Homo-oligomer: A and B are copies of this chain.
Amino acid sequence: MITKNSVALAADATLRARGLRLTRQRRIILEVVRATDAHPTAAFVYRRVRRRLPRVSLATVYRNLRTLAAEGFVAERADPSGARFDGNTAPHDHFTCVACGRIYDVPPRADRAVRARVATRTGFEVLNHRTEFYGRCVACRRHGRRSPVKGQRRS
């Protein structure tokens, strides 16, 4: 089972091997990102971390999200209004609801062939790929929402 603690231990070992340290801030930032499936922005992570470390700096959050992403402990994705982070580093796809803006995880497709096809067609070396779906989630379909809700805070 993946526990908070086993994650921290693994992170600690990996970071040490690079001459980096798993500081209190870094550990809590990692825990916050892994504890939600909301694909949070840096600002969201900042707000959450502040509950446990009231004196943390926004720069520290950004700095560590970058570090953790570079070391593979979180994934980073580009969003029209900025970066979002994902504590789920297992391969999976995403569904973005065009009405409420929420991003849902979607189980990945069995896709060995997809990369191979692109590789042979282009001659490129395909290291990775990801599919993004867009549409309306169940809740928004039920409520008949069609367009982005204005004024809602980005999570």
* Residue positions of A touching B, CB distance < 8 A: 76, 78-80, 83, 93, 95, 97-98, 104, 106-107, 109, 114-115, 117-119, 121-138, 141
Contact = CB atoms under 8 A, between A and B. Distances in A.
A135 B141 contact: no
Contact of A136 (B78, B124, B130): B124
Given A80-B83, A83-B80, A106 B125 contact: no
A118 B132 contact: no
A95 B80 contact: no
Nearest to A81: B78
Given A80-B78, A107-B121, A135 B126 contact: yes
Given A106-B121, A109-B114, A118-B95, A127 B135 contact: yes
Contact of A78 (B78, B130, B141): B78
A42 to B, nearest CB: 13
A106 B132 contact: no
A78 B130 CA distance: 14
